Amino acid sequence: MSTSPASPSDAHPTGMVASVTEDVVSTVQAVRVIAKRHTHKSTSWWIGRVALYALLVVASVAMLIPFFWMVISSFKRDNEVFSVPVRWLPLTWHPENYIRIFSNSMAGGYSMTNWLKNTLILAVVVTFLQVLTGSFAAYGFARVKFPGRNALFLGYVATIAVPWQAYMIPQFILLTKVGLSNTLWAIILLQAFGAFGVFLMKQFYETIPEELSESARIDGLSEYGIYWRIMLPLSVPAIASLSLLTFVNTWNDFLGPLLYLRDRNLFTIQLGLNTFAGDPQTASQDALIMTGAVISVLPIAIIFMLGQRYFVEGIATSGMKG
């Protein structure tokens, strides 16, 4: 009977053990190297993250210090606001400043309540019109094909680069001749249309699949129906972003009301605070000026906190194409 030749490992058991031992040692060494590299990378990653967060905290504190000082100053006496050295906390808290500013404005022949009402009317109406006109025009540029569409859109968006100061005098002359000067309608007509809103909404519309519009057309839905029933419901983040930006810009606008509004009863909060600060009877009432500034900032802060999620989502999504 013939037998097969024995393998070297069978012939030499000690050689097999040595080979296995070498493999194990190599594996252990490789694991140690990988673990060491991973530990080094993990440590570097954590150091980088801690440094980044520390930098962000410092930047946040630096940005919030003026706002903190403004809020605290609204509870001070007038002679404590700009004291040297700076007094961060008042010796005595005066929450009655928020009542005094309304009574003092009435005594001066104008009303803080009226300023807030006018500003709110302008901000809401302008925001609604900009969202309506911007989203409608953006749908035409994004979904409707017509000759010269791209050239027209490029020319329209190029107006963003032209500062308003370059053509505000012709606008003022035109609105004065048609009898809209010293009315809220002048501000509304000036800001009812905006190229930025069209650009923002168009970028978002282009992220929506074209197949949805094609399917709706096959089902017999008109372009107006597609815009109203499909595009707008899917564009909530972009609409929220445009609404927030427009509302904030209109609320904080100073130059427009300064040019067109002369009746104190039509003043906005920004223009009214400037008048209040420049009034000889109230020029030294610095605490009330800070109180008015807090009142003007508070609605914007609340709206931004409520719509922050939609604002970030709309801006991020609108930048996916273009």
If you average pLDDT over every residue of the chain, what do you get?
A: 81
Q: How many CB atoms lie within 10 A of CB 257?
A: 24
Residues 69 and 108 in one domain: no
In a domain, 90, yes or no: no
Question: Cα 121 vs. chain centroid, distance in angstroms?
Answer: 21
In a domain, 47, yes or no: yes
pLDDT of residue 285: 75
Determine the longest span between alpha carbons in the chain, in angstroms.
126
**Res. 179: pLDDT tops 70:** yes
Lowest mean pLDDT among 22-26, 162-166, 182-186, 218-222: 22-26
Tokens 């009542």 sit on residue: 99
182 with 146: CB under 8 angstroms? no
Lowest mean pLDDT among 41-45, 113-117, 261-265, 291-295: 41-45
In a domain, 192, yes or no: yes
User: How many domains is the chain built from?
Assistant: 2
pLDDT of residue 198: 92
Residues 156 and 263 in one domain: yes
pLDDT of residue 4: 47
Average pLDDT estimate for 248-262: 91
In a domain, 3, yes or no: no
pLDDT in tens, 33-48: 555 655 555 777 788 8
Residues 198 and 304 in one domain: yes
pLDDT of residue 166: 86
**Res. 310: pLDDT tops 80:** no
Question: Which domain CATH number covers 238?
Answer: 1.10.3720.10
Residues 39 and 171 in one domain: no
**Res. 8: pLDDT tops 60:** no
**Res. 67: pLDDT tops 50:** yes
**Res. 321: pLDDT tops 50:** no
Residues 67 and 213 in one domain: no
Owning domain of residue 227: 97-318
Residues 15 and 140 in one domain: no
Residues 31 and 136 in one domain: no
Residues 65 and 133 in one domain: no
C-alpha to C-alpha distances, 129 to 162, 257, 271, nearest whole angstrom = 21, 18, 23
Residues 194 and 251 in one domain: yes
Tokens 């040595």 sit on residue: 18
In a domain, 35, yes or no: yes
**Res. 7: pLDDT tops 50:** no
Residues 141 and 13 in one domain: no
Lowest mean pLDDT among 31-35, 219-223, 227-231: 31-35
In a domain, 88, yes or no: no
122 with 184: CB under 8 angstroms? yes
Residues 66 and 110 in one domain: no
**Res. 109: pLDDT tops 80:** no
In a domain, 177, yes or no: yes
Tokens of 78: 């007038």
Average pLDDT estimate for 2-21: 50
Q: Which residue has the higher pLDDT, 26 or 61?
A: 61
How far is Cα 59 from Cα 56, in angstroms, rounded to an integer?
5
In a domain, 92, yes or no: no
Residues 175 and 284 in one domain: yes
